[in-house]
A = this chain, B = another copy of it.
Amino acid sequence: MKAVRLYAKWDPRADFELGLKDIEGKLTYLGSRVWRNPQIKEEDVPVPEIGDNEVLIKVKTCGICGSDVHMYQTDDDGYIFYPGLTAFPATLGHELSGIVTKAGKNAINRRTNKRFEEGEAVCAEEMAWCGHCRPCADGFPNHCENLQEIGFSIDGAFAEYIKLDAKYCWSIEELRSTYGEEKMFIAGSMVEPTCVAYNAVIERGGGIRPGDNVLILGGGPIGIGACAILKRAGASKVILSEPSPERAKLGAQMGATNVIDPLKVNTAEKVLELTGGMGVNLILEATGLPDVVWKDVEKVIWDGRAVNTMVVIVARADKKIPLTGEVFQVRRAKIAGAQGHSGHGTFPRAISAMAAGMDMTPMMTKSISLSADEVEKDLKMLQTDRKHCKVTVLPEK
């Protein structure tokens, strides 16, 4: 079968030390310290053999994630940008939907609590959690101590087929009547990124009550996903701060009731104006520039009359955040970090909300075929482009 795979050279920086779980020449938890000169190759590989707990999925759609872009993007020394868990060569791609074509004898479909049947439409989690470490046993699989990641350290879905442990798969049959045979797989491939946003604002942020107002900083796929989810959760004002006109427009289409261009207006002042001086109940930092936006975060909280504002940090960033404790004391505010999408009933709820009308497919603004050339071109394009939101690989195209 055809697969689009990423190769890179294991060439650790001078000061790199092999971590406890790293494997020399093969796997590291610190990708950007080790991997150099990434290359995208189209290969013919065998269709995977499945084990008793696994299913074989014929891939219908697989979106490109920012992480995919960062695995191929390099600094001046040729090291990849992506800082996390990686084991190359690997087939990229983790925002997938497809059809089960084979199932191991213990490969249970949670929809039925029976063995998966051929033909079942599914999507999948990206996080391969172990299920038995302390965080997993306590109910926090996003913080698994033995995590593997699909499309990073194990083969992903830029391929005709992928095999996965059934426990990472979720049926999307519920989407069929709403979206139809074709579009349901586009919708299905949006479940994973939608769940990252859902986990951030609903599970980690604690959700909102109908009538609350929210502020989303950054209109990438997670920020826009959060607009859709919070609008659906009953937010009255869903204010999106995003400078790109294309993304602002998409944000408004997907649920933002107001969009601010932070390069043109003072975000905090505008938020206070839009909310009659109340401010907001939840703020999502999804820009990756927390040091830049933090003064707005604190001004909205400090000057707004709402108490109990929850700030959720979902975008990854190295920069320190200049936190003013007094703001969070006087205004009774909180901060939560968010990571992942697994557990807590997030996947089935996101799928159900999509089946009931929360249409995420407008975020898919481009589709390409399963070819190294096209994938490579768009991985490059997305390094700078802010016009597209989500590009998707269609193996059957």
Query: What is A's interface to B at a CB cutoff of 8 Å?
Result: 53, 108, 110-111, 113, 130-135, 137-140, 142-143, 145-146, 166-167, 174, 198, 202, 204, 207, 209-213, 229, 232-237, 257, 276, 285, 290, 305, 307-308, 313-318, 320-339, 343-345, 348-353, 355-356, 358
Taking a contact as CB atoms under 8 Å apart, the answer to whether A234 and B233 are in contact is yes
CB distance from A217 to the nearest CB of B (A): 13
A344 touching B132 in the complex, CB below 8 Å, given contacts A234-B353, A326-B317, A328-B335: no
User: A332 CA to B229 CA in the complex, in Å?
Assistant: 21
Taking a contact as CB atoms under 8 Å apart, the answer to whether A167 and B131 are in contact is yes
**Oligomer copy total:** 4
User: A207 CA to B317 CA in the complex, in Å?
Assistant: 30
Taking a contact as CB atoms under 8 Å apart, the answer to whether A330 and B143 are in contact is yes
* Partner pick for A322 among B131, B139, B320, CB 8 A cutoff: B320
Closest B residue to A306 by beta carbon equals B134
CB distance from A331 to the nearest CB of B (A): 7
8 interchain pairs (CB within 8 A)?
A108-B132, A110-B133, A110-B137, A131-B132, A207-B209, A211-B349, A328-B336, A335-B336
Instruction: Kindly list chain B residues whose C-beta atoms are within 8 Å of the C-beta of A353.
Output: 210-211, 234, 236
User: A210 CA to B356 CA in the complex, in Å?
Assistant: 10
Instruction: Kindly list chain B residues whose C-beta atoms are within 8 Å of the C-beta of A318.
Output: 326
Taking a contact as CB atoms under 8 Å apart, the answer to whether B337 and A330 are in contact is yes
Instruction: Kindly list chain B residues whose C-beta atoms are within 8 Å of the C-beta of A329.
Output: 313-314, 316, 337-339
Taking a contact as CB atoms under 8 Å apart, the answer to whether B138 and A343 are in contact is yes
Instruction: Kindly list chain B residues whose C-beta atoms are within 8 Å of the C-beta of A111.
Output: 276
Closest B residue to A113 by beta carbon equals B145
* Partner pick for A143 among B174, B209, B332, CB 8 A cutoff: B332
* Partner pick for A145 among B135, B142, B257, B305, CB 8 A cutoff: B305
A322 touching B325 in the complex, CB below 8 Å, given contacts A330-B337, A332-B140, A355-B236: no
Taking a contact as CB atoms under 8 Å apart, the answer to whether A336 and B334 are in contact is yes
